[in-house]
Structure formats: structure tokens, C-alpha cells
Chains A and B, each alone.
Chain A
Amino acid sequence: AQKITQTQPGMFVQEKEAVTLDCTYDTSDPSYGLFWYKQPSSGEMIFLIYQGSYDQQNATEGRYSLNFQKARKSANLVISASQLGDSAMYFCAMREGTGGTSYGKLTFGQGTILTVHP
């Protein structure tokens, strides 16, 4: 069963505007972590933001914020003030279990290609 679903194969946004990339997940584990990674054309996976299942507030890291809706099992990434350098593939990932009891392996979605237009 698909554990991480990213339904948008591609998204386009105008420079300086905000964009939301969708991610839904499925798990029966009450403890889990959600991650977003950026993969530019160079291929390296760059960690962007993390949200723990017990975190009360939505995570933010600079221009990135995670819209965490636990009941809907969604963890959308919001990028504010898009820049040309944001053009890349974006992956949502989940780790089941948290802390020392978790092996930490990540399950990734299929990815969304974001293109920022000038």
C-alpha cells in the first residue's frame, strides 16, 4: 500500500509567489516524522523541513513551512516568495516511529517537479 502520496507530478509558479506542494500519508503508527527534501537537477537530496507527529505547531524553516493536518493525514509544503533556484524535484517522506526506537528509514513519495517562472 502506498504510504506517501504526492498527487501533483508537476507544478508551476511565478517568481515571488507562494506555492503549495501536496503530500498525504498513511500509517497506523502513532509516532512518525514527516520530511520534505529538495532534489535539484544535480541529484543531491537536500533536507528542507521536518514535522513530528506530536508537534503541536506547524514547522517553519525560513521560506518553507509545513501545513500539517493530522486528522486528514496531510503534510503539505508551502514555499513563500518563490525564487528561480527553487525549481527542482520535491519529495515528501515519512519515518515511522520516533527517537531511539526508530530505525529511521524513510519512505518517499513519487515527487513533484516545481518550475518557477520569471
Chain B
Amino acid sequence: DTGVSQNPRHKITKRGQNVTFRCDPISEHNRLYWYRQTLGQGPEFLTYFQNEAQLEKSRLLSDRFSAERPKGSFSTLEIQRTEQGDSAMYLCASSRIRDGIYEQYFGPGTRLTVT
């Protein structure tokens, strides 16, 4: 396993701009999750895919947020018309079942700063 990778690692953008983040899960992991983590807090669930199907979205995910996972491989998270409140670390995780447990493996995150 090469691990979950995320790009970019850091993104600084001006308020009102659109940004897109990419997550490459561990190969053969069929589940992929996006979380958001603000400073000093635990991660908060945003959305979840099983293969290419987006099965759940948190109410934290406003209409400005959209996520895709074409072909069930990598995923993208887009934020339109960014706001300062969107500044956070965006974490991606992937999982597969092992011994009856879905262990989630996290990527290094993308830190977004909206100025």
C-alpha cells in the first residue's frame, strides 16, 4: 500500500474563488471519505463514497461544496465561491474491510486558507 495521497497539500485562495482538491485512495479501497478539520477540533464528516456512488452527505456540506469519485478511483472535492469560514484542513480517508473492521486510512490533508 502506498497510502492515501492528497493534492495540493496547501492552498491559499481569495474569497470568492473556486478551489478543487484531489484525493487518491489506497488502491482497491472501495470506500472513500472526506472530513474537515478546523484548528483545535476533531475532524468532521463531510461525505462518503462507496465505489463511484456518493452515499451520504453531511448537512455541513453546503450547496457550494461538491464531491465526485468518477470510476470509483480518485475523488475531487470542489468548493465554489470560497468564504473565510471554509479555511480548514480537508482530510480524505479510504477504507476496506479487514477482519470485519473498516479501518480508515487518512491522507496528509489539504490545508485551505481563504483570505
Contacts and interface: CB of A to CB of B under 8 A. Distances in A.
B101 A33 contact: yes
B65 interface: no
A104 B42 contact: no
B42 A111 contact: yes
Contacts, number: 65
The majority secondary structure among interface residues of chain B is strand
Given A103-B48, A106-B43, A108-B42, A50 B104 contact: no
22 contacts: A35-B104, A43-B89, A43-B111, A44-B106, A44-B107, A44-B108, A46-B106, A47-B103, A50-B101, A50-B103, A91-B43, A93-B42, A99-B97, A103-B56, A104-B95, A105-B48, A106-B33, A106-B104, A107-B45, A108-B42, A111-B40, A111-B41
